Chain A
Amino acid sequence: GQQVMQIPQYQHVQEGEDFTTYCNSSTTLSNIQWYKQRPGGHPVFLIQLVKSGEVKKQKRLTFQFGEAKKNSSLHITATQTTDVGTYFCADLETSGSRLTFGEGTQLTVNP
């Protein structure tokens, strides 16, 4: 089945530094969703990307979908301690029901 790989697995940054996590697949992704899970919490939806080459921004977060729809990235500018958590990408199949999650990138931010 569809496999979604995410790197890095862990990232430690100083507050104010930038952070990027990458999501890759050997096959074409349908739609990409990004979720954030705070420590001890549950995944919370951030955004969905649908179109090839799409770029969306949410304040300090920038999401990109590759031109070939085989990769995606999440970039956080000037991290804050509130950004701590695990960021997951997930491929949403065209029926709209099944999500295949990547392994996630766990971000820690040192104040």
Chain B
Amino acid sequence: ETGVTQTPRHLVMGMTNKKSLKCEQHLGHNAMYWYKQSAKKPLELMFVYSLEERVENNSVPSRFSPECPNSSHLFLHLHTLQPEDSALYLCASSRSHVDIRNPYTTYEQYFGPGTRLTVT
């Protein structure tokens, strides 16, 4: 296991529903990410949080609303989604600050298992 958990693993929701995806990391990282993975598309970065501050919002529609209450938890609140939002939503975590003592420090991202979302 990677130390990053996501719940639920599967979610079916109607277009008028409100639901939330949860991510938790047990690795002591200070950056967390939401990605969307659709069939035949590269992983799309949605949001980045570093030290609990949102540092990137990659032109994501407002029907997706992230929340990062602390460095270990990340949520993605969903409301009035569209069928084209059906995808695998992946959470990831990593260290975020460049280590000036060692510019070759690896900043790999650890991914959770994902939530398979279907919007009907």
Residues of A within 8 A of B (CB): 4, 33, 41-45, 48, 50-51, 88, 90, 92, 94-104
Are A101 and B107 in contact, with the CB atoms below 8 A?
A: no
Give the docked Cα–Cα distance between A33 and B109 (Å): 10
Residues of B within 8 A of A (CB): 2, 31, 41-43, 45, 48, 50, 55-56, 90, 94-98, 103-114
Are A97 and B55 in contact, with the CB atoms below 8 A?
A: yes
Minimum CB–CB distance from A3 to chain B (whole Å) comes to 10
Interface SS majority for chain A: loop
- Can you identify 6 A-B contacts, CB atoms within 8 angstroms? A41-B113, A44-B111, A92-B107, A97-B31, A97-B107, A104-B42
Are B42 and A96 in contact, with the CB atoms below 8 A?
A: no
Q: A43-B43, A88-B43 are in contact. Are A97 and B108 (CB under 8 A)?
A: no
Are B108 and A45 in contact, with the CB atoms below 8 A?
A: yes
Are B42 and A103 in contact, with the CB atoms below 8 A?
A: yes
Are B98 and A102 in contact, with the CB atoms below 8 A?
A: no
What residues on B are CB-neighbors of A43 within 8 Å? 43, 90, 109, 111
Give me 13 other A-B pairs in contact (C-beta within 8 A), A92-B107, A97-B55, A100-B45 excluded. Answer: A41-B113, A42-B2, A42-B113, A42-B114, A43-B109, A44-B2, A50-B103, A96-B107, A97-B56, A97-B94, A97-B107, A98-B48, A104-B42
